[in-house]
Amino acid sequence: MRRKRRGSGAPLVIFILLWALFSVGSEAPSLAAVLLGLVVALAAGIGLGFLLGRRKKKGASAQTAAPVQETKKEETPKKEEQSPYSPEVQAVIKEGRVAMKEMGRLYSSITNPEIRSKINELMSVSDKIVRDAIDDPSDVPQIRKFLDYYLPTTIKLLNAYDRMSSQEVSGENISGSMERIEDMLDTTIEAYKKQLDALFANQAADIQMDIEIMNGMLAREGLGGKSYLDINDFMKQYEKQQQYAQAHGQGQAAVQSPTESVQQTQ
């Protein structure tokens, strides 16, 4: 079965209208006039119908072209940047940022200058603890304990202090609770500093081991009159020689090595 083309009746309608126009105006038109009117009306109807059909085709093609462009845009997804840190370190960084944002808000809200100063110090130490996860991912378990309990509890107490200080009412419960929080902040600052220091326990042990290994190597090389040369003395002598060279404008070759200096002094 043939499908009906839409708009095929337009030329016929136009033809009838034009023929009627040509027919109006004379009571008894001649046969030639009627035929001429029919031809002109038919030609005009076909021409107008053709122009209308072309316009419809252009509109349809424009509508079908738009979705193709949209699908092309959707087919090119953006590449997500991969983080260089492990998921555990990323979680520590994210939680640390949230906590720092909340403490910053409390710093702006609380008007007591002494409390603001303590909050500022707490934020500084907390930021160093969180950043240690980037420098040493093996410390993440210790930092996780800090983030799960100590930091949230501190923020909770500071929020309570902020709410009570905004009441502008002096009472036994409000005043007593605010004083206890103020005293607690000093203890909290010291605890945070100890937590930060504890994160460097493993690094301190590694440094001590490196110093002992260096002392053993220097002793085997026969440097110094003693059975071993302390690495601290070695570095002190080296710094003295460098300072002497800079003060007198001497070149590096003219300066004694720290081992020679130590041997001469012994």
Kindly give, in sequence order, each residue whose CB lies less than 8 Å from that of residue 173, ignoring residues fewer than 6 positions away.
none
pLDDT tens-digit readout, 123-175? 999 999 999 998 888 889 989 989 999 999 999 999 999 999 888 777 788 88
Kindly give, in sequence order, each residue whose CB lies less than 8 Å from that of residue 188, ignoring residues fewer than 6 positions away.
122, 150, 154
Identify the weakest region by mean pLDDT among 21-35, 77-91, 167-181, 215-229. Answer: 21-35
Per DSSP, helices labelled H in 10-86 are: 10-23, 31-74
Q: What is the pLDDT of residue 154?
A: 94
Cβ density class 213-229: b for 16+ within 10 Å, e for less:
eebeebeeeebbeeeeb
CB 99 within 8 A of CB 155: yes
SS3 category, 92 = helix
pLDDT tens-digit readout, 70-118? 555 555 555 556 778 888 899 999 999 999 999 999 999 999 999 999 9
pLDDT band at 252 (very low <50, low <70, confident <90, very high): very low
Q: Is the pTM of this model over 0.85?
A: no
